[in-house]
A and B are shown apart, each in its own frame.
Chain A
């Protein structure tokens, strides 16, 4: 009887695992099938290497690739030190009660809807960026990346904290016994054991940063050209999909958004693969 229950539980879990993995595969298939006409004529290559000028019959998505790369990477890079500091505060430096308080705050922050960040960005951040740097309209790569950093920091922080908290108590006590301070504890004992979680947190944040649509749509300005500097307007792949989705179904504009989807898929797969590689050496060391 017990064996049967256990078996069915295993079956259910395995089923849901297959289902979610299958969904990812199905999405890829869907993108490939709809993008098929583009592959057949070899147009996909020219589409990802040319500019967007629908009025002249050119539907290249190169500016959007650049936009996503710039905004997502800048956002993640900005959020790493933020998350690192926050995590260090929560699990090492802050007194126990405060640590618990901050952790609760960060947990709650992971659930704040993106649109809220977007509004804060439009009404507070964009005018500030415009006046502070005295350039452009404030709707630019930097504004989007800053807000994106704020968006992904809580998630990343929680990951880091989980990694930090896994350090065995005896190690920490050993540091105390040797007269080491908190900074030494963090740098030499806690950090080396937490790499897997740190990289896991960055992976998740990078995925979220690439996939985010609303913040980029609201804050990056959406000009379809390659940004030359962080204060210029840029358009991400996701924002492009949202902007063009509306156009005529049969149009080449519409076809190009499937290429955008494919590129996003490729981007996030690549990110995961690269980061997993980075993490690999630590996998056996700290089981």
Chain B
């Protein structure tokens, strides 16, 4: 009993210590630069919505809270639809979306939009899958359910398991509009609820194919080269890679106080550096 618990607790303890060390490091770093604008502030910022945004939001929040413990920032997911709805109804201060809010949404809620990054949406497969690139046509055939075996596009003789996102997903809307060209995604597709869950699902399924925000791609999944264009930051920036979108933070009416400072921070060199560090494309 003792040995197993030691085995489990040692890494947890190590992680704990490490996170403390990181926190201290961040605090030390924070004493200079753009974070100074939060001096003397106190209060809560509630954020929800787009799941692509979460890593950047978390890092920004961590730095701000480390520099000023009187500020409390909460970050929830839910998807772009949730972000827009919740900020519109005053449930949160900032609602993130991975798509531009529609004119109706902007009018109904009096939204103000802040785009602080450019992002791409890329089809991903399991790293074990020998298929490394795909044509737009074949991608649409796969997701609409016409092609159901990997061997038809030069892979192994195995079924294709589709993964898509829920109704509220901005990532799904962008993929549906720009990669699928509004062609219907097969109803047999499995549905997952966040960019993170998509990555987990495809990383665990050798026959799976899904799509995630480019900022979320790491070595657990392989981003497919689409029509000969890799979804790199370079290609998204110069427009060669077509499935791209802005990452937005929305507020109800013009932001004030702490919320305004948070959004301002996202556009400072430090904020934009966080954006770049997480694989997204800064707007400044």
Q: Which residues of A contact B (CB under 8 A)?
A: 51-55, 122-123, 126-127, 130, 135-139, 217, 221-225, 232-233, 235, 242-244, 246-249, 253
Interface 9-residue window, one of B116-124, B200-208, B257-265: B200-208
Known: A135-B159, A243-B166, A248-B81. A224 touches B191 (CB 8 A): yes
Contact indicator B159/A246 (Cβ below 8 Å): no
B70-94 contact mask (Cβ, 8 Å, vs A): 1 or 0: 0000000011011001000100000
Residue of A nearest to B190 (CB): A221
Chain A nearest CB from B111 CB (Å) reads 13
Residue of B nearest to A243 (CB): B166
Complex alpha-carbon distance, A137 and B192, angstroms: 13
The listed residue (B79, B168, B190) touching A139 by CB distance below 8 A is B190
- Chain A residues with CB under 8 Å of B193's CB are 217, 242-243
Contact indicator B205/A249 (Cβ below 8 Å): no
Sampled A-B contacts (17; CB under 8 Å): A51-B187, A136-B161, A137-B161, A137-B205, A138-B205, A222-B191, A223-B191, A233-B190, A235-B191, A243-B166, A243-B191, A244-B167, A246-B82, A246-B168, A248-B85, A249-B85, A253-B167
Complex alpha-carbon distance, A98 and B166, angstroms: 47
- Chain B residues with CB under 8 Å of A51's CB are 187
Known: A221-B190, A223-B190, A224-B187. A246 touches B85 (CB 8 A): yes
Complex alpha-carbon distance, A232 and B161, angstroms: 11
Contact indicator A225/B188 (Cβ below 8 Å): yes
Contact indicator A126/B78 (Cβ below 8 Å): no
Residue of A nearest to B176 (CB): A55
Chain B nearest CB from A125 CB (Å) reads 11
Contact indicator A246/B191 (Cβ below 8 Å): no
Given A221-B190, A223-B188, 20 more A-B residue pairs with CB atoms under 8 Å apart are A51-B187, A54-B167, A55-B184, A122-B204, A130-B205, A136-B159, A137-B163, A137-B201, A137-B205, A138-B205, A139-B201, A222-B191, A222-B192, A223-B187, A223-B189, A224-B191, A225-B187, A233-B190, A243-B193, A246-B78
Residue of A nearest to B191 (CB): A222
Complex alpha-carbon distance, A123 and B200, angstroms: 9
Most central of B78, B159, B163, B190 by chain A CB within 10 Å: B190
Chain B nearest CB from A64 CB (Å) reads 12
Contact indicator B82/A127 (Cβ below 8 Å): no
Complex alpha-carbon distance, A246 and B168, angstroms: 5
Chain A nearest CB from B129 CB (Å) reads 14
Q: Which of B202-232 contact A (CB under 8 A)?
A: 204-205, 207-208
Complex alpha-carbon distance, A54 and B193, angstroms: 17
- Chain A residues with CB under 8 Å of B191's CB are 221-224, 235, 243
Complex alpha-carbon distance, A135 and B158, angstroms: 9
Complex alpha-carbon distance, A127 and B208, angstroms: 12
- Chain A residues with CB under 8 Å of B184's CB are 55
Complex alpha-carbon distance, A267 and B163, angstroms: 29
Complex alpha-carbon distance, A232 and B188, angstroms: 9
Contact indicator A246/B190 (Cβ below 8 Å): no
Contact indicator B187/A246 (Cβ below 8 Å): no
Contact indicator B168/A247 (Cβ below 8 Å): yes
Most central of B79, B105, B167, B200 by chain A CB within 10 Å: B167
Residue of A nearest to B86 (CB): A246
Q: Which of B129-173 contact A (CB under 8 A)?
A: 159, 161, 163, 166-168
Complex alpha-carbon distance, A266 and B200, angstroms: 35
- Chain B residues with CB under 8 Å of A248's CB are 81, 85, 105
Contact indicator B188/A137 (Cβ below 8 Å): no
Contact indicator B168/A123 (Cβ below 8 Å): no
Residue of B nearest to A247 (CB): B167
Complex alpha-carbon distance, A54 and B173, angstroms: 13
Complex alpha-carbon distance, A139 and B167, angstroms: 19
Contact indicator A247/B205 (Cβ below 8 Å): no
Chain A nearest CB from B82 CB (Å) reads 4
Across chains A and B, which 10 residue pairs bring their CB atoms closest together, nearest first? A246-B168, A222-B191, A137-B161, A221-B190, A246-B82, A243-B166, A247-B167, A225-B187, A246-B81, A246-B79
Complex alpha-carbon distance, A242 and B188, angstroms: 19
Known: A135-B159, A136-B161, A247-B168. A127 touches B187 (CB 8 A): no
Chain B nearest CB from A4 CB (Å) reads 47
Residue of B nearest to A226 (CB): B187
Complex alpha-carbon distance, A136 and B191, angstroms: 14
Complex alpha-carbon distance, A151 and B34, angstroms: 50
Complex alpha-carbon distance, A225 and B188, angstroms: 7
Complex alpha-carbon distance, A225 and B167, angstroms: 15
- Chain A residues with CB under 8 Å of B168's CB are 243, 246-247
- Chain B residues with CB under 8 Å of A52's CB are 187
Contact indicator B200/A233 (Cβ below 8 Å): no
Contact indicator A246/B166 (Cβ below 8 Å): yes
Complex alpha-carbon distance, A223 and B201, angstroms: 14
- Chain A residues with CB under 8 Å of B161's CB are 136-137
